[in-house]
Amino acid sequence: MTAASAFSLLLALLLLPAAAPARAASVSLPALPLSTSSRWVVGADGRRVKLACANWASHLEPAAAEGLARRAVGDIAARVAAMGFNCVRLTWPTYLATNATLASLPLRWSLERLGMLESVAGVRVNNPALLEMPLIDVFREVVSALASKDIMVILDNQMTTPGWCCSKTDGNGFFGDKYFDPDEWLKGLSAMAKIFKNTENVVGMSLRNELRGPNQNISLWYRYIDIKAFLLM
């Protein structure tokens, strides 16, 4: 799948429920931060919180959230809330956090280098303020648009290299694979955690999508999951 077709396919998925009757957004943030109590996720007030998360991909080749060429970021956030979600699982590639060249690439350049000129034109119409913005700031703007609709965000580390997930042979599958250097991964998690440390609606991180592939190994799995738990505490 080309980046361009993935971009519009995911957008289509995101916008598909548009035919459903729009309800007024009735989301409000629970008392934060969240924690666990036995098997439950609870708010700071001890009340149970049920997460209803939509997926919003921001880990594909452009390293920017899908759909920005089609609708204003605030409108997409409003639509997510109107569909009844109180949370978004926002995906990101490790390099967005660890590769300064990528992070500082303006959205327009990122789309242009992939030949996505229609998307450039679409972003210019629908999100003009984001067009010349560095990718890492575009990512922040998405989080901020969701915050303004009281939607919680779980930052989801999907891949190291920006691109479609998941294949068993894409070098992103397991600790030690070509593009899955555990130190780089921890650096990325740590950098993302720092960026959003004081951002109230960012309630959690999912640490890596779908460990997979021929190099899976239980002892390495435990080793890195432990380090990471320690790092994020």
CA-based nearest residue to 146, from 221, 88, 231: 88
Q: Which is nearer to ligand NAG, 102 or 205 (CB)?
A: 102
Q: CB 110 → ligand NAG: shortest distance, Å?
A: 8
Q: Do residues 61 and 162 touch, judged by C-beta distance below 8 A?
A: yes
Q: CB 23 → ligand NAG: shortest distance, Å?
A: 40
Q: Which is nearer to ligand NAG, 47 or 113 (CB)?
A: 113
Q: Which is nearer to ligand NAG, 35 or 217 (CB)?
A: 217
Distance CA 6, CA 115 (A): 13
Alpha-carbon Rg for the chain in angstroms: 18
CA angle 7, 51, 130 (to 5 degrees): 35
- Where do contacts with ligand NAG occur on this chain (CB under 6 A)? 95, 99, 101-102, 105, 217, 219-220
Q: Which is nearer to ligand NAG, 23 or 223 (CB)?
A: 223
Q: CB 69 → ligand NAG: shortest distance, Å?
A: 19
Q: Which is nearer to ligand NAG, 48 or 113 (CB)?
A: 113
Distance CA 13, CA 15 (A): 5
Q: Which residues are within 8 A (CB) of 79 and not within 5 positions of it... i.e. 6 or more apart?
A: 14, 15, 18, 71
Q: Specify the 3-state DSSP secondary structure of 156.
A: strand
Q: CB 188 → ligand NAG: shortest distance, Å?
A: 12
Q: CB 169 → ligand NAG: shortest distance, Å?
A: 18
Q: CB 101 → ligand NAG: shortest distance, Å?
A: 4
Q: Which is nearer to ligand NAG, 85 or 224 (CB)?
A: 224
Q: Which residues are within 8 A (CB) of 27 and not within 5 positions of it... i.e. 6 or more apart?
A: 81, 85, 86, 149, 150, 151
